[in-house]
Amino acid sequence: MVYSVKDALRNEGRSYEICEEIAMEPLEYIGTINFVTPVQVKGTYSCIGEGIEAAGTITALLGMECDLCAQSFQMPMQLDFSEQFLLNGTDDQDYYPISDDQTIDILPLVQDNIISNIPLERLCKEDCKGICPYCGVNKNFSTCLCTPPEKGNPFSVLRKLVD
Ligand SMILES: [Zn+2]
Ligand SMILES: [Zn+2]
């Protein structure tokens, strides 16, 4: 994931290949994001005067938990990236650093781009029915006889019998 950019810095405009398969550790981002398969990164980097520009495509298969039913599901992701690395370090959040030994590490770039493309709402399917709040059954797989209280709770009948 670390590339020496010595040559690139001396050959402005020439592009160099990025081709990686990264076995990523799970990310903690509002719950755990697992990587079902290695993340593929394909692209190029080149010197653009003040630094290095890296651009390409990230392909990943994410494993997450559904917000509604808590089932694990997989979500394929493919995204284009274009990021810049600057020499002499930088505090600017928009850029990544080129280290003193003239290398760039693309892992932070890959993680940041994946995180910013994860949907805020993680659903196993668009019309996930979720979990019944009364009996806990996963309503995607089975139905239950629970009825919301305002429509008449079956237990209210029992309660009357008990009284
Ligand atoms: Zn679900
Ligand atoms: Zn139920």
Q: What angle do CA 57, 60, 61 make, to 5 degrees?
A: 155
Same domain, 118 and 135: no
Is residue 68's pLDDT more than 60? yes
Residue 82: predicted pLDDT: 96
Q: What angle do CA 105, 58, 34 make, to 5 degrees?
A: 90
Residue 94: predicted pLDDT: 82
Same domain, 107 and 46: yes
Same domain, 15 and 94: yes
Q: Mean pLDDT, to the nearest integer, of 24-39?
A: 93
Q: How far apart are CA 29 and CA 89, in angstroms?
A: 26
Same domain, 121 and 47: yes
Bridge partner list, 18? 43
Same domain, 91 and 158: no
**Residue-number span of the structural domain to which 141 is assigned:** 129-163
Q: How far apart are CA 143 and CA 122, in angstroms?
A: 22
Q: What's the structural domain count of the chain?
A: 2
Same domain, 97 and 17: yes
- Number of residues that this document lists for the chain: 163
Same domain, 88 and 118: yes
pLDDT by residue (tens digit) across 120-136? 899 999 999 999 999 99
pLDDT by residue (tens digit) across 33-44? 999 999 999 999
Same domain, 87 and 153: no
- Can you list the positions of beta strands (E) in the chain? 2-4, 15-22, 27-28, 32-35, 39-47, 51-65, 72-86, 95-97, 103-105
**DSSP, res 131:** B
Query: Separation of 98 CA from ligand 1 center, angstroms?
Result: 42
Query: Separation of 1 CA from ligand 2 center, angstroms?
Result: 49
Nearest ligand to the C-alpha atom of residue 133: 2
